[in-house]
Amino acid sequence: MSNKIFKSVWSAALAVFAVSLALILGLCYSYFSAVQVNQLKIETQLAARGAAICGMDFFTGSGDEQALEAENYRVTWIASDGSVLYDSAADESSMENHLAREEVQTALAEGYGESSRYSATLSEKQLYAAQLLPDGTVLRLSIRQAAVWTLLLGFLPLICVVILFALALSFLLAYRLSKKIVEPINALDLDHPLRYVDEPDYREIAPLLRRLEEQQTQLKSDQEKLERTSLIRQEFTANASHELKTPLHAISGYAELLENGMVRDTDVRPFAGKIRAESQRMTKLVEDIIDLTALDNGGGMQREDTDLYRIAENAIDSLESTAEAAQVTLHLQGESAPLRGIPSVLYSIIYNLCDNGIRYNHAGGHVTISVEPSPGSVTLTVQDDGIGIPQPHQERIFERFYQVDKSRSKAAGGTGLGLSIVKRGALLHHAAIALESAPDKGSAFTVTFPAA
């Protein structure tokens, strides 16, 4: 980056220098040209006055006076008919008529005229100034003016020195500037970017520092979330292994007793029944773990247009025999409720809530499921008149493997994961869960789904 800044600064400095140099040279040239033209005019008018007073003597001299010496300029005296009376640089008799010359024409018409012509090589320009004398003759002075490039050529060594100096100076400045820009950036402590906001060196990059701080905060919170998720997963794995080990131990214990012939023939059937019950518990556990893991990774599940009432009907159908065995009656009320969601997850929510309503109930109890669509939301309520949940436990029953009464839940075939599945599923649908429950009165779970 430092290299890039250096190159940009250096090239910018050089570009500014080149443009300035060209402009200054151009301005100097036009200024000095103007000065030269003005000078020539004054000199021409002076010489014209001399010629008007002294006549030809002014040029050729007389007596002791010497003839005019014209070194850097040329003097021409032209008669009113255009013939050349005197010329300081050539033999006047061999010179052509000058009447048509632009400056002579203007002088004859207006008293004074000027013109300029490039020489054949274009390397220099000839400036002419002509003044009309009272007797009708014209005095003309001319000088050579170098063209821009000729002038430049003359200046070349000096210009080269200046360019070299500018190159070196801009190199040095660009180097120091790029270092000065990059140094504070490199010195930044990225963990605390806001610390620099008020320092003079960092004022220009204050918005960047603020964005860095925002990103740092975001990163930290993401990191914390990740750590928390990883901790929850670890805990979950440990708990799951522990929960799986219990039925496995029981199964292997019963099997060992059977194997060693320590069970009376009449007890073999109840033992086999226990083994079956434990393995069913294990199966239920594994199924719940699979469900919950799928929900944890739930991003990939397909959402569809569904009807919650229809899903409730299906869940109730599957629970009918369980309810019958527990002597609990299931009721479904409400109406068709269109909802965009994941059908299998919605099914799990209703199934688990109803299943709990049946299992934590008395013989002769009731479970009422109602599905009510309303503008903006769909409400699912699963209400039972079972054993209820004491207030202190109500907060925690949605935690994984949390059970109010371990032995009762175990006897009822619980895994401690049912409500975690409900909570996770509701979360995937941005639904809120509310619980109202009192011991021996029953419980009502309400899940409110935002409609589409």
- Enumerate binding residues for ligand ADP (CB under 6 A): 352, 356-357, 360, 384, 386-389, 397, 402-405, 409, 414-420, 443
Which runs of consecutive H residues, i.e. helices, occur in 139-205? Answer: 148-186
Specify whether the CB–CB gap between 435 and 444 falls below 8 A.
Answer: yes
- Identity of the residue, 26 or 413, whose beta carbon is nearer to ligand ADP in the bound complex: 413
Rounded to the nearest whole angstrom, what is the least distance from the CB of residue 394 to ligand ADP in the complex?
A: 9
- Identity of the residue, 137 or 415, whose beta carbon is nearer to ligand ADP in the bound complex: 415
Rounded to the nearest whole angstrom, what is the least distance from the CB of residue 199 to ligand ADP in the complex?
A: 56
3-class secondary structure per residue, 63-109: CCCCCCCCCCEEEEEECCCCCEEEECCCCHHHCCCCCCCHHHHHHHH
CA dihedral for 386, 390, 391, 392, sign (positive or negative): negative
Rounded to the nearest whole angstrom, what is the least distance from the CB of residue 344 to ligand ADP in the complex?
A: 18
Q: Tell me the one-letter amino acid at 125.
A: K
Could you report how far apart the first and last alpha carbons of the chain are, in Å? 49
CA dihedral for 306, 311, 314, 315, sign (positive or negative): positive
In total, the chain counts a number of residues equal to 452
- Identity of the residue, 275 or 419, whose beta carbon is nearer to ligand ADP in the bound complex: 419
Which runs of consecutive H residues, i.e. helices, occur in 297-340? Answer: 308-325
Rounded to the nearest whole angstrom, what is the least distance from the CB of residue 421 to ligand ADP in the complex?
A: 8
- Identity of the residue, 193 or 386, whose beta carbon is nearer to ligand ADP in the bound complex: 386
SS3 338: strand
Report which of 290, 305, 284 is spatially closest to residue 415, judged by C-alpha positions.
284
Specify whether the CB–CB gap between 347 and 419 falls below 8 A.
Answer: no
Rounded to the nearest whole angstrom, what is the least distance from the CB of residue 409 to ligand ADP in the complex?
A: 4
- Identity of the residue, 140 or 423, whose beta carbon is nearer to ligand ADP in the bound complex: 423
- Identity of the residue, 6 or 360, whose beta carbon is nearer to ligand ADP in the bound complex: 360
Rounded to the nearest whole angstrom, what is the least distance from the CB of residue 404 to ligand ADP in the complex?
A: 3
3-class secondary structure per residue, 366-423: EEEEEEEEECCEEEEEEEECCCCCCHHHHCCCCCCCCCCCHHHHHHCCCCCCHHHHHH
CA distances for 68 relative to 40, 65, 75, 93, 295, angstroms = 17, 9, 9, 18, 114
Rounded to the nearest whole angstrom, what is the least distance from the CB of residue 371 to ligand ADP in the complex?
A: 18
Rounded to the nearest whole angstrom, what is the least distance from the CB of residue 437 to ligand ADP in the complex?
A: 7
- Identity of the residue, 209 or 330, whose beta carbon is nearer to ligand ADP in the bound complex: 330
Rounded to the nearest whole angstrom, what is the least distance from the CB of residue 375 to ligand ADP in the complex?
A: 29
Q: How far apart are the C-alpha atoms of 145 and 147, rounded to whole Å?
A: 6
> How many CB atoms sit inside 10 A of residue 18's CB?
12
- Identity of the residue, 142 or 409, whose beta carbon is nearer to ligand ADP in the bound complex: 409
